[in-house]
Chains A and B, each alone.
Chain A
């Protein structure tokens, strides 16, 4: 039995051989295993970046690695888009299906098994796999975090994506990750976009409703010069799934990155959408919506590292909470001393819908360079009584008005997101959650009623 907490080098070597991986990859896994086993699991009292999630209480690492491929994922929100999309499915720790439309294959687009790509696309995979997580000299990795290093060593199913230089894709590439078997799931994604390539990558995470699982995920994306990349990550887990996710993009000169996360399902979700702005003029826009309900704990940590000059970042996360739920937004911005002309802004706004929910927002700025523009803001709130009055005074019943206001609150995040299906899928799900909620328990803030005369 191989567990996440106690895998051995023999286990990993055997699995690597069974997957037909080349020696260089097996060696890397074993090196990562050594590092992982030397590290302790995170300690939320000591580790700065783990303060926001109580690791010991919520994350059980004593779980067997799942490699059965048995489950059957539900309908995808992309099914309705009426397109044949390049798609990869990781089900219960196994890459069960890959589809690449012929037309895209002819343009050189690759979506394939990462283990096989280690041979077939060795140059790219060897250069980039782990470059954002480990101390690769060319990379920007180096987080000594066992949850990440464990994935470096033991990822069970991986997808490799390559969009060659100057290839522009209109349709998204969909990676579906589904859990139906209890245990530890370790999916891995590596995507490489050549210069002036354009693509969007949808990560759709689902599970059966009763599965009790830990998903420890690493996604690495390299966006070469002037590439345009959108990532949309949907966390739609059942309520016994804990999801630890590093989704990290390395952004080269003049590339444009956008990461949209939709966090709704899961018992614990600790999501790290990170961008390393390593090329001058690169831009990133980490966006997020989240809706937390009874028992859920969401720890959202967008991290932007301004390493090159004249790059920009603009973070916006909006959330709503009800029941006994907890969310933490921790927006980390690092500005290197050479990153002159940096332009950065981050905002977090959330609505506390019912009593008992708790949200924290901590912007965390580490700025070594004076010649920059930086802003941050956070706003907490409740549903505004005056808005509610305005809508109801037009005949809209209170419940319907509440639904309009809550979904409207989230819409700002999507104001310039034109990713097919993404906004609708996100807002429909949020609307359904509000629909199912006990609207009579929603807290409404009366403060605005008293401000009439100040207008």
Chain B
């Protein structure tokens, strides 16, 4: 049994079916890329894994390390090592980045990490990701640029040390340098204890992060799977071939 096992997953939002039977396996230590045209349901899958309240699982299962995630609250999932770097990170006015991260780290590790130790690791991770110290006092995501938000998502992952990281278009909105810094950040986290699901439209992030498998989502289903070469083909030729082969109309 894979560490993450998704079987025949059906998800609705606003009473509209979006995912119509998704199957996916991901083991810790491996990296999967998920591609697919706009609106095909990639973020919906990510949110369903991370327990977003707007997405209702109407059929199928998501099992993580043998636990059915469906009934768990988002914080319980995070405490089991699930992390979603969101496509659109949320602004939380008045909650300082430091306070937020410390509360989250303590909750996930279920211990009171001493302030000094916490600040030390926070500062060093910030330095690695090129996030300025002035952000410590800023409110979570408030007034951050698109790229700053993405970096901050990865900073959170670095501190929370998840075992499953879903990166939903973390590469979009980043310039070349930022992309490299963020990708290196993900690579530092990688290892036998982390499974990564990268959702992306472009192969450029896959030049830094090696994907073991590539899957393509169309209209709420995974319709093609392959190795890294599949990503290259999609970037060059678009979704035409797959569309024709699978008779899906998008």
Contact = CB atoms under 8 A, between A and B. Distances in A.
Interface of A: 385-387, 389-398, 400-401, 404-405, 407-412, 446, 449-450, 452, 455
19 contacts: A385-B53, A387-B91, A390-B86, A390-B92, A391-B104, A393-B52, A394-B100, A398-B73, A404-B95, A404-B100, A404-B103, A405-B95, A407-B95, A409-B93, A409-B94, A411-B93, A411-B139, A450-B54, A452-B54
A455 B93 contact: no
Contacts of B51: 393
Which of B14, B92, B100, B160 is packed against the most chain A CB atoms within 10 Å? B92
A407 B94 contact: yes
Which of A392, A393, A405, A409 is packed against the most chain B CB atoms within 10 Å? A393
B92 A395 contact: no
B167 interface: no
B94 A395 contact: no
Interface of B, secondary structure class, is mixed
B232 interface: no
Interface string B149-193: 000000010001000000000000000000000000000000000
A397 B106 CA distance: 11
Closest CB pairs A-B (n = 6): A408-B94, A395-B78, A411-B94, A390-B90, A395-B108, A408-B95
Interface string B79-102: 100011010111111110001100
Contacts of A455: 88
B70 to A, nearest CB: 15
Given A389-B74, A452-B88, A394 B94 contact: no
A449 B44 CA distance: 13
Interface of B: 14, 50-54, 73-75, 77-79, 83-84, 86, 88-95, 99-100, 103-104, 107-108, 139-140, 156, 160
A408 B156 CA distance: 19
B88 A395 contact: no
B53 A397 contact: no
A426 to B, nearest CB: 13
A118 to B, nearest CB: 46
B89 A393 contact: no
A411 B89 CA distance: 21
A405 B90 CA distance: 12
Contacts of A409: 93-94
Contacts of A450: 14, 54
A393 B88 CA distance: 14
Contacts of A410: 94
A393 B50 contact: yes
B95 A389 contact: no
Contacts of B140: 390
B92 A391 contact: yes
A389 B94 contact: no
Contacts of B78: 392-395
A122 to B, nearest CB: 48
Which of B14, B73, B75, B83 is packed against the most chain A CB atoms within 10 Å? B75
Nearest to B54: A449
Given A394-B156, A408-B93, A450-B14, A389 B52 contact: yes
Contacts of A394: 75, 78, 83, 100, 104, 107-108, 156, 160
Contact of A398 (B52, B75, B83, B104): B75
Given A390-B86, A397-B75, A446-B53, 13 more contacts: A386-B90, A387-B90, A389-B74, A392-B74, A393-B51, A393-B78, A394-B78, A395-B108, A396-B103, A396-B107, A407-B94, A408-B95, A408-B139
B122 to A, nearest CB: 14
B90 to A, nearest CB: 4
B78 to A, nearest CB: 3
Contacts of B74: 389, 392-393
Contact of B75 (A387, A395, A407, A452): A395
B45 to A, nearest CB: 14
A396 B79 CA distance: 9
A387 B92 contact: yes
A230 B24 CA distance: 61
Nearest to A386: B90
A120 B90 CA distance: 60
A390 B89 CA distance: 8
A404 B54 CA distance: 22
A67 B92 CA distance: 49
Contacts of B14: 450
B155 to A, nearest CB: 11
Which of A385, A387, A395 is packed against the most chain B CB atoms within 10 Å? A395
Given A395-B107, A400-B107, A455-B88, A412 B75 contact: no
Contacts of A386: 90
A405 B53 contact: no
Nearest to B82: A393
A410 B95 CA distance: 10
Nearest to A414: B94
Contact of A395 (B89, B93, B99, B104): B104
B62 to A, nearest CB: 15
Contact of B92 (A385, A408, A452): A408
A46 to B, nearest CB: 40
A348 to B, nearest CB: 16
Contacts of B53: 385, 389, 446, 449
Contacts of A400: 103, 107
A78 to B, nearest CB: 24
Contacts of B83: 394
B177 to A, nearest CB: 25
A450 B92 CA distance: 17
Contacts of B79: 395
A9 B154 CA distance: 74
Which of A392, A400, A446 is packed against the most chain B CB atoms within 10 Å? A392
B58 to A, nearest CB: 17
A182 to B, nearest CB: 39
A390 B86 CA distance: 9
A393 B107 contact: no
Contacts of B50: 393
A390 B14 CA distance: 19
Nearest to B89: A390
A396 B104 contact: yes
B94 A397 contact: no
